[in-house]
Amino acid sequence: MRAVSVESFWERRTPIRSLRPWFFLVLSLLVVDQLTKIATIDLLSLGSGIEITPFFNFVHVRNPGAAFSFLADASGWQRWFFSGLALVVSAWLGFMIWQSPDDKLFCVAASLMMSGALGNLIDRVVHGEVIDFLDFHWAGWHWPAFNVADSAITVGAVLFVWVEILRYRKAKANSLDHEHPPQP
């Protein structure tokens, strides 16, 4: 994780054009996520599904909780909790992109996570719950249904971990170079 001082925050002048690719990625994935959810609502009644392949169904389910229906049975407070969390996380990710627009791999990861958080936020605000429609299964075992936003969050999180592993390795290699400088 990178530390940002208050001075560097106020002195930073990131040109808007350097942020465009990242926010275009966020907006593009957000549009795809919402269009797929609109199609799901239009094509399937709640609780119904269509078998596409022996391991994949197109379904229409709702999730008032978080990943894997965590807190789905809570009394309703989770809608606003997860909505607030999505706003805070999206603002933080936007700030991190603004701080490092040239760190391409990091910005892709942050953009993916931001688009997913905002996609599910829209569902929570508009519908009170998240619309899921991708149902993968095998031999009677079903993975919990998910959507494009969930996929973006997952891929972004994995990529984020990868970025941090690469940073750690680079920092470790640099520290070893300083401890044992080459001998003439």
Residue whose entry in the numeric block shows the structure tokens 């994995």: 158
With beta carbons less than 8 A apart as the criterion, state whether 150 and 120 touch: yes
Taking CA atoms, 63 is separated from 86, 169, 175, in Å, by 15, 39, 47
Q: Please spell the DSSP secondary structure of 156-167, one letter per residue.
A: HHHHHHHHHHHH
| 132 flagged as catalytic | yes
> Residues 33, 123, 135, 150: which is the catalytic one?
150
User: Which residues does 76 contact at the CB level (< 8 Å), separation at least 6?
Assistant: 64
| 103 flagged as catalytic | no
Active-site positions read 132, 150
